[in-house]
Structure 1
């Protein structure tokens, strides 16, 4: 099946039972074509494990070279599953699943149930330095090429996601060489799904605006969305709910008591508990845990784009 045919197929639902095995998920927070228009989901287990997202028979595993990064391994891995026919109310019939970023402890012919260990997550060279370890999951029709990076069927989370308002301020509670995480906004109801909201309450997903495309969940009826009182993107509704978002040209400025820096972007995702705005600085930053920051978004000639 051609890539455009796969993209036009009915979206594959991601049931609550699948997503609840992981601490966070994102369908858009990636620069790679496999995520274009929400055609894959990244699942963050948060503990280094690699639980199988769904049941099926392993039909192949492959090891592939990945970009050379000083913080990452030299090789990544692909696991291809023939999805159990009865998965998701019968949607598993004639469906293949592609799972990446796991050093496989399974091999062709093995049957795995949902939650079984697939192996160990790897720190892939496909990740930005600020990206946490995760499983990449995408779907193909059974007669499609499972090895190509593009051509997957769109996915849609079959869960309720609360949009959490954020005023752009917070204290740094976690820092890495290329990111900081704030203590705000706080999760409104740990154990349920939540994401930072646009100004109208629409839950957002993706790398704003360091990746060109993002997403919105729920009833995203507006033609455009704003965050912190600035237009950030235009909306294209999706079959099955939610919307794709094309990020506009914006600059994200971060101000502390002693310094101000332009950030690369905001990392947006849905979370069950661990929350707070994650701000990405591709070339590094000078902020520290305990700093009180104010974030603003302004129109710009060009966003800092990484993909």
Structure 2
């Protein structure tokens, strides 16, 4: 069974990713992270708030002490762009309450019993200890059947993102336009028409990559029409290097290093985005010396000891 999210959900946010995380909740695309324009944690669904709960997060000097979980009984009829497999229904009657949305990284401004609408703020997003320092604030979303344990970290239903994405060719060159202690953002590839559609960095054959390349074990790949791909055991080439093999949309990365002007980086952080700030994001989890205005070239090289963060 899969839950399908389509454009009416994704378009509320500037970008999304199913695979840019080391945590098991994202394995095989069973959770998605949505990145709003502001720090308001916008609800992806309509329904009744079942519970809010503080969650212990890994202690990080840049993060809050507590993360939060919000559970919402999904009103599918009033949640545009959300569709469940009706063969798996747990009961008859209307659509509300058969599935639970599991939302993380938002300090709840809502209470159990309260009705929320899709696009409404659930509260301010938080800097979670589950994030790498280079990770922007976001809304984590997964779904459970009502008869499942919604408090456990693992066990969410598989997700399909039925959202068209435009593949952007990129040869690895760019100029740094923003830096942080653990990242550098490039001006390339640029979004051809920001706000009009989602786009992502493309492989040699025009599919779109998603995830941490290759500082997380695996990532994902999408066709230009979005959702699942039909390919099985299909090799992927990116920046003139064989980066992995796709089985459907799931990818397990080969062993390689990401080099920036010949220096080893942690990796590349890739998303599906519609915002004007789109560009490749270089990750350096132990720091770097690059500055705004630096021209760089990103290359991939074989490695016997690639960086892996979880």
Query: What is the TM-score of this pair, normalised by structure 1?
Result: 0.91
Q: What residue number does 1:207 align with?
A: 212
What secondary structure sits across from 1:150 in the alignment?
Answer: coil
Q: CA deviation at 1:189?
A: 2.3
Q: What residue number does 1:7 align with?
A: none
What secondary structure sits across from 1:36 in the alignment?
Answer: helix
What secondary structure sits across from 2:25 in the alignment?
Answer: helix
Q: What residue number does 1:240 align with?
A: none
Q: CA deviation at 1:46?
A: 2.9
Relative to structure 1, the CA distance from residue 290 to residue 159 in structure 2 (aligned partners, 3 Å threshold; closer, same or farther) is same
Q: CA RMSD, aligned part only?
A: 1.3
Q: What residue number does 1:265 align with?
A: 267
Q: What residue number does 1:35 align with?
A: 26
Q: What residue number does 1:5 align with?
A: none
Establish whether residue 249 from structure 1 lines up as the match of residue 276 from structure 2: no
- Unmatched tracts of structure 2, length 5 or more: 85-94, 224-228
Q: CA deviation at 1:267?
A: 0.3
- List structure 1 segments (4+ residues) > 2 angstroms apart after TM superposition: 87-93, 219-222
Alignment of 1:219-298 (within 5 A): 219=229, 221=231, 223-237=234-248, 243-255=249-261, 260-273=262-275, 274-298=277-301
What secondary structure sits across from 2:190 in the alignment?
Answer: coil
Alignment of 1:60-75 (within 5 A): 60-75=51-66
1: distance between equivalents of 2:83 and 2:105? 27
Work out whether residues 248 and 303 of structure 1, in 8 Å CA contact, stay in contact via their aligned partners in 2. no
Alignment of 1:19-98 (within 5 A): 19-86=10-77, 87=79, 88=81, 91=84, 94-98=98-102
Work out whether residues 161 and 193 of structure 1, in 8 Å CA contact, stay in contact via their aligned partners in 2. yes
Relative to structure 1, the CA distance from residue 286 to residue 35 in structure 2 (aligned partners, 3 Å threshold; closer, same or farther) is same
Relative to structure 1, the CA distance from residue 30 to residue 89 in structure 2 (aligned partners, 3 Å threshold; closer, same or farther) is closer
Query: What is the TM-score of this pair, normalised by structure 2?
Result: 0.91
Relative to structure 1, the CA distance from residue 199 to residue 89 in structure 2 (aligned partners, 3 Å threshold; closer, same or farther) is closer
How many aligned residue pairs are there?
289
Q: CA deviation at 1:188?
A: 2.1
